[in-house]
């Protein structure tokens, strides 16, 4: 089992069974579809499971905080990260802590040159998370909004 540890968080790679349970229990149709697409990527490319699966973000005391994912490893060495924190867990720095740790983990993997993300233009909290983690705007507009990049050092 792949795990990323921070001072306050444990970020764990989901198994197929965990992802199926997440999909079955997800009330939001948009998120249910997104989780289904992630599982499809895992099953299509099992050797790249970590680049498609949901990663669960939990506090060290076991309280679930949110989740994150990568959207596949691209041939150019880029990976895109997506993340979300439960509303009742927001404004505590968990998103920044998780994204920083996951991005550092990704950049330590063979073949990864940069981590990218995009956020809706009016989502100032998400933009702040990316800025805190060292992501810089690329000047490109993605499907969801402006794109940001963190390059390998």
* Tens-place pLDDT, residues 101-149: 999 999 999 999 999 999 999 999 999 999 999 999 999 999 889 999 9
Let me know if residue 88 belongs to a domain.
yes
pLDDT in tens, 50-71: 999 999 999 999 999 999 999 9
Given a contact cutoff of 8 angstroms between Cβ atoms, the answer to whether 114 and 104 are in contact is no
Let me know if residue 144 belongs to a domain.
no
- 132 by DSSP, 3-state: which? helix
Give the model's pLDDT for residue 153.
76
Let me know if residue 130 belongs to a domain.
no
Let me know if residue 151 belongs to a domain.
no
Residue-averaged pLDDT of the chain: 95
User: Which residues, in sequence order, are CB contacts of 52 under 8 Å at separation 6+?
Assistant: 38, 39, 41, 42, 44, 45, 69, 70, 71, 72
Domain count, the chain: 1
Give the model's pLDDT for residue 1.
74
Domain that holds residue 44: 3-113
Q: Mean pLDDT across the stretch 6-23?
A: 97
Let me know if residue 89 belongs to a domain.
yes
Distance between CA atoms of residues 24 and 22, nearest Å: 6
Give the model's pLDDT for residue 152.
85
Q: What is the pTM of this model?
A: 0.94
Give the model's pLDDT for residue 17.
97
Give the model's pLDDT for residue 9.
98
CATH number at residue 109: 3.40.630.30
Let me know if residue 125 belongs to a domain.
no
* Residue 80, beta-bridge partner list: 116
């Amino acid at each position: 089992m792949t795990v990323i540890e921070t001072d306050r968080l444990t970020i764990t790679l989901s198994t197929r069974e965990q992802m199926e349970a997440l999909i079955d229990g997800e009330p939001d149709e948009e998120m249910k579809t997104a989780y289904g697409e992630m599982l499809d990527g895992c099953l299509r490319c099992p050797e790249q499971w970590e680049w498609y699966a949901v990663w669960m973000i939990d506090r060290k005391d076991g309280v679930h905080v949110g989740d994150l994912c990568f959207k596949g490893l691209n041939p150019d060495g880029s990976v895109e990260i997506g993340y979300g924190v439960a509303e009742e867990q927001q404004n505590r720095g968990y998103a920044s802590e998780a994204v920083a740790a996951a991005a550092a983990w990704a950049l330590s993997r063979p073949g990864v040159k940069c981590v990218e993300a995009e956020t809706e233009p009016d989502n100032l909290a998400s933009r702040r998370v990316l800025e805190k983690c060292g992501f810089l705007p690329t000047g490109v507009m993605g499907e969801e909004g402006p794109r940001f990049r963190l390059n390998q050092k």
